Amino acid sequence: MNEDSDLDEIREKKMEEMKEKLGSGGNGGNSSQSDPIKLNSSNFETVINENNLVVVDAWAEWCGPCKMMDPVIEELAEEYSDISVGKLNVDDNQEIAAKFGIRSIPTLLFFKNGELVDRSTGALPKDQLKPKFEELKSS
């Protein structure tokens, strides 16, 4: 096999694994996993559309405030297991970042039933983000 077909095969396998995880969480179409989902151009739309509640953390490797937010996002993903949390590297997924007008990072995008309903920009403490997660659940 050549390198491209190997990559395609790996991508397909990963997509199938992700679909199985997403489809098996018996919570109204939300993943029951607490670890954030690594989002990219091949799974972004699927994750957003197949889960009722999704929070996307837009970040980059070089971003200091993004690194500070990492443990906060992981804690919130664990506490709010009924909300699917994904991480989107904006350097690797510039088309998605442009589509949602992400000009500063970290940015959190809040989706309900596939629709963007809220966003937050900048490194915020957990106590300022929890109300946004609560609002997403109750809206």
Element (H, E) at 118: strand 115-121
Catalytic residue list contains 23: no
Residue of 63, 72, 90, 97 marked catalytic: 63
What is the distance between the alpha carbons of residues 58 and 106, in angstroms, rounded to a whole number? 6
Walk across the sheet containing 115-121 and list its strands. Answer: 37-39, 84-89, 53-59, 107-112, 115-121
Tell me the C-alpha to C-alpha distance, in Å, between residue 28 and each of 6, 59, 68, 80, 83: 34, 28, 31, 14, 10
Determine whether 63 is an active site residue. yes
Catalytic residue (one of 22, 53, 66, 109)? 66
Backbone angles phi and psi of 41, in degrees to 5: -65, -25
Q: Catalytic residues, which ones?
A: 63, 66
